Amino acid sequence: MKYSYLGKSGLKVSQLCLGTMNFGPETEEKEAFKIMDAALDAGINFFDTANVYGGQERRGWTEEIIGRWFQQGGGRREKVVLATKVYNDMFDENDGPNSGAGLSGYKIRRHFEASLKRLQTDHIELYQMHHIDRNVSWDELWGAFEILVQQGKADYIGSSNFAGWHIATAQAEAKARHFLGLVSEQHLYNLLQRTPELEVLPAAKELGMGVIPWSPLAGGLLGRNALAGTGVRSSRSANLEKNRSQLEQFSALCKELGDHEDQVALAWVLANPAVTAPIIGPRTMQQFEDSLRVTEIVLDEATLKKLDEIFPGPGRPAPEAYAW
C-alpha cells in the first residue's frame, strides 16, 4: 500500500480509504470485522464513517460496529486513522427543537460526544462536516471545532460536499483565527461526475487540502456487473440506460487493458494529483480484495485520453472551461 499526506497536514493515510457505509444495513457485523481486519493487513490505515450510517431506522449502527471491532484489541484502534462526520438528523429525541440537519455549536458538541461513545474511543483523527450549513457563521463553526482540537479530542477538521467558494471562505476564516482550518474535502467524483474539476478540485489543491472522492464507482454504474443490471444501487439504476453507450465503450476499453471496470474507474480517480484517497465501500470480502489491485494500475496517456473521450469532463477548470 502507498501512502500520502492528508492535505497540508503531516498525517499520512493510505491511498485507499475504507468506506464503512454498508456495515450493518448490507454487511453483517462478522463480515465487517473480517473486512476491517483484512484492510489493516493490506496496509489500509484510513477508515471513513459517519454518525448517520446504519440506515433510516438505526442511525449510528455503523459506528457501533466499528466500536466493537476496536474493542477486540490487538492495536486495531491505534492503527486506524478514523474519520467520521456530523450534520444529519440523528432522530435523537433529546435534541428537541434543535433536531434536524445542521452544524450549530450545540449540535457539534453533542453529536461528537455521541460518536465517541458509539465508537468506543476517546478521540477522532478527522472530524468532517457532512454538508455546508448556510445558517451558521464561521465564527460559530471554527469556535466549536477549535475547542475539540484544543481538548485533544479531534486532530483535524475536514469538509464534505462543499462548493469551491465554501472551501475558500472556510480557509480564509480559519487563517484569520490562526487555525489550521480544513485539511480535506470529501466529494462526489467519478468518471460520470466530473463537475468538481471546475471549482472544487482546483480550490482544494490550491488551499492545501486533500480530496477524498466518495462514490468513485457512481453507485455501481462503473462496476464490472453494471451492464448486466447487477451491483447498481437502486438510486442509480435509472441512469443505467441513459449512460449505456458510454458504459459499453468503457467496458470494451477495460477488456483491452485486462482490468475490470471498477478497478480502472478507481485507478482513474486516484491518478488525479488533487486526490488523496478514493473511498472504497465493499459489501463483501471479495469486493474488498478486488479493490486492492487499484494502486498497482498505471493508466498511460493514451488510456487517459480515451477515457476523456468516453466520459468528457469540463476540459479545464473554471473560468477557462466556459469563458474566453
- pLDDT number for residue 92: 87
Using alpha carbons, list the distances in angstroms from residue 281 to 145, 204, 217, 252, 314. 28, 23, 10, 25, 27
* Fold (CATH) for 3-220+273-299: TIM Barrel (3.20.20)
Task: Name 314's bridge partners.
Answer: none
Cell of 135: 445558517
Task: Name 160's bridge partners.
Answer: 186
Cβ–Cβ under 8 Å, residues 276 and 216: no
Which H or E element spans position 81? strand 81-86
Entry pTM: 0.95
Each residue's pLDDT tens digit in the chain (324 positions)? 999 999 999 999 999 999 999 999 999 999 999 999 999 999 999 999 999 999 988 999 999 999 999 999 999 999 999 999 999 999 988 888 988 999 999 999 999 999 999 999 999 999 999 999 999 999 999 999 999 999 999 999 999 999 999 999 999 999 999 999 999 999 999 999 999 999 999 999 999 999 999 999 999 999 998 998 777 776 677 788 899 999 999 999 999 999 999 999 999 999 999 999 999 999 999 999 999 999 999 999 999 999 999 999 999 999 999 998
- Interhelix angle 105-119/61-70, rounded to 10 degrees, is 50
Comparing C-alpha atoms, which of 152, 197, 165 is closest to residue 311? 197
- pLDDT number for residue 235: 64
Contacts of 80 (CB under 8 A, 6+ apart): 40, 45, 46, 47, 70
Catalytic residue numbers, as ranges: 53
Comparing C-alpha atoms, which of 20, 47, 19, 6 is closest to residue 182? 6
Query: Any idea where the domains of the chain sit in the sequence?
Result: 3-220+273-299
In eight-state DSSP terms, residue 278 is P
- pLDDT number for residue 229: 74
Cβ–Cβ under 8 Å, residues 136 and 143: no
End-to-end alpha carbon distance in the chain: 42
